[in-house]
Amino acid sequence: MTAQIAAILTIDGVATGAIYVLIALGFVLIFSVTRIIFVPFGDIAAFTALTLAALETGQVPGTVGLTVALAILASAMEVVSLLRSGQRDRIPRRLLFYLVLPLVPAALVWASGSIILPMPLRIVLSLALILPIAPLLDRIVYRPIADASVLLLLTVSVALHFALVGLGLLFFGPEGVRTKSLTDYTMILGGIPISGQTLLIVIAAIVFAALLFVFFGFTLSGKALHATAVNRTGARLMGVRPEKSGTIAFLLGSLLAGVSGVLIAPVNTIFYDSGFLIGLKAFVGAIMGGMVSFPLTAIGALCVGILESFAAFYSSAFKEVIVFAILIPVLVARSYTAVHSEEETEE
C-alpha cells in the first residue's frame, strides 16, 4: 500500500466515520436519558434518505402515511390516558403536540403535490417529516413500559426495528435510491482529491457535536436532560418531567439521524432496510464510548469508519466481519476498566 492509497482510504474512512459519529451520538443521547437502546435509529436515517429521494422525483414520500398513522395512534393513547386520570383540561395542548405539529409537514408535502421544490427546501421538509417519528414511537411503544428493565426495553427496540423495516417496505417499496449530490465542489489536498460531499459530512459531524456540547454544558434544558440521565428521581423532585426530557432526546437524536441520512443518500444507495447495518456500526462506536461518553463515542465511531475503509480495501468480502470483530477486544477491555454505578449495583 502506498502512502497515497492510505491517505485516500483514511479520508474515505473519516467521511463514513463522521456519518457513524452523528448516529452514535444520537444513540448515546437517547440511551442516557431514557435507558432505551433505540435499535431503529438507523432506520430513521434510511427513511430520511428515502424521503428526500421521493421529494426529488415529485412523489409523495411514504413518510407521510407513516407519520399520519403514528400521530393518530399516539393522540388516541394520550387522550385515553388523560381522560382516565381526569385531566380533561390538558387534552387540547397534548393534541397540538401529538397531532397538529407532526401533521403540519405531512400536510405541506401533500399540498405541494408533484411540484419539485428547490434542494434546501426539500432537505428541510424531509427532516421535518422525519423528526416526529421517533418521539411518536416513544409515546406509543416505550412510555407504557418506561420503568421496565434495560433488557426489556432493548427487546422491544429490536421488535420495533423489525416492525419498522416491514413498514418501510410497505411505505417506500423495495427500490434502492440515491439522491442528487449536494455539491460538485472538489478540493485537492497534497495531490489527493477530497469531494465537497466528504467535506460537508465532516463539517456536519463537527458542527452537531459542538452543538451538543453547548446544549449540555450551557443551557438549562441541556442540564435538565443530563440530570434526568444521571438521576431520574432527583430530576423529578426538581420538577423536570422525564417524559419531556425523553421527547427532547428523541427529537435531537432524530435530527442527528436525519442529517446523516441526508448526507449519506448521495454517496450510498439506500434501501428500506439499509438503516440496520448503518445503525449497528454506529452502535459499535457508541459501545466504545460505554454508551455514556460523547467524546469517546465520537472517537469510537470515527475508528469504525476508518477501519471499515481499510478492511474494504484489503478484503471487501470480510469488511463487516472485521468491523464487528473489534467489538470483542473492546468489550473485554471495557469489562476490566468499567466502573459500576450506584444504580447498576442496586438492580
Partner 1 sequence: MSLLALSDIAVAYGKAEAVRGVSLSVEPGQIVTVIGPNGAGKTSLLTAAIGLLPSSGTITFDGQDVSRLETEQRVERGLCLVPERRELFADMSVRDNLVLGAYTRRRETAKIKSDIDDIYDRFPRLKERHKQHAGTLSGGERQMLALGRALMARPRLLMLDEPSLGLAPLIIREIFRIIASLRDLGVSILLVEQNARAALETADFGYVMETGEIVHDGTAGDLIDDPRLIASYLGGQHA
335 Cβ contact list (under 8 Å, min separation 6): none
Counting contacts by CB under 8 A, is residue 233 touching partner 1?
yes
Nearest CA to 95 among 112, 76, 115, 70?
A: 76
Counting contacts by CB under 8 A, is residue 236 touching partner 1?
yes
Q: How far is the CB of 147 from partner 1 (least distance, A)?
A: 12
Counting contacts by CB under 8 A, is residue 226 touching partner 1?
yes
DSSP structural state of residue 97: I
By CB under 8 A, name the one of 3, 86, 120, 147 that touches partner 1: 86
Q: For residue 57, how many C-alpha atoms fall within 13 Å in the half-sphere facing its CB?
A: 11
Q: How far is the CB of 136 from partner 1 (least distance, A)?
A: 21
Euclidean distance between CA atoms 315 and 329, whole angstroms? 21
Nearest CA to 256 among 92, 108, 131?
A: 131
By CB under 8 A, name the one of 5, 83, 211, 238 that touches partner 1: 238
Counting contacts by CB under 8 A, is residue 240 touching partner 1?
yes
Counting contacts by CB under 8 A, is residue 85 touching partner 1?
yes
Counting contacts by CB under 8 A, is residue 28 touching partner 1?
no
Q: Which is nearer to partner 1, 226 or 319 (CB)?
A: 226
- To the nearest 5 percent, what fractions of the chain are helix, strand and coil? 75, 5, 20
By CB under 8 A, name the one of 6, 121, 170, 230 that touches partner 1: 230
Q: Which is nearer to partner 1, 139 or 281 (CB)?
A: 139
Q: Which is nearer to partner 1, 240 or 302 (CB)?
A: 240
By CB under 8 A, name the one of 92, 193, 234, 295 that touches partner 1: 234
Euclidean distance between CA atoms 140 and 72, whole angstroms? 10
Q: How far is the CB of 329 from partner 1 (least distance, A)?
A: 27
Whether 262 and 19 have beta carbons less than 8 Å apart is answered as no
3-state secondary structure of 193: strand
98 Cβ contact list (under 8 Å, min separation 6): 71, 74, 75, 78, 136, 139
- The owner of cell 423528526 is 131
Counting contacts by CB under 8 A, is residue 339 touching partner 1?
no
Q: Which stretch binds partner 1 (CB under 8 A): 53-61, 228-236, 323-331, 332-340?
A: 228-236
Q: Which is nearer to partner 1, 178 or 223 (CB)?
A: 223
By CB under 8 A, name the one of 88, 93, 241, 334 that touches partner 1: 241
The phi and psi torsions of 177 (rounded to 5 degrees) equal -130, 155
Euclidean distance between CA atoms 298 and 194, whole angstroms? 21
Counting contacts by CB under 8 A, is residue 227 touching partner 1?
yes
80 Cβ contact list (under 8 Å, min separation 6): none
Q: How far is the CB of 86 from partner 1 (least distance, A)?
A: 6
Counting contacts by CB under 8 A, is residue 235 touching partner 1?
yes
Counting contacts by CB under 8 A, is residue 223 touching partner 1?
yes
**Could you give the C-alpha distances from 96 to 69, 71, 85, 269, in angstroms and in order?**
16, 11, 19, 36
Q: Which stretch binds partner 1 (CB under 8 A): 11-19, 177-185, 226-234, 314-322?
A: 226-234
C-alpha cell at 195: 469531494
Q: Which is nearer to partner 1, 224 or 267 (CB)?
A: 224
Counting contacts by CB under 8 A, is residue 237 touching partner 1?
yes
Q: How far is the CB of 131 from partner 1 (least distance, A)?
A: 24
C-alpha cell at 23: 448516529
Q: Which stretch binds partner 1 (CB under 8 A): 38-46, 91-99, 163-171, 237-245?
A: 237-245
For the chain, the first-to-last Cα distance in angstroms comes to 51
Which positions lie near partner 1, rule CB under 8 A?
Answer: 85-86, 220, 223-224, 226-227, 230-231, 233-241, 342
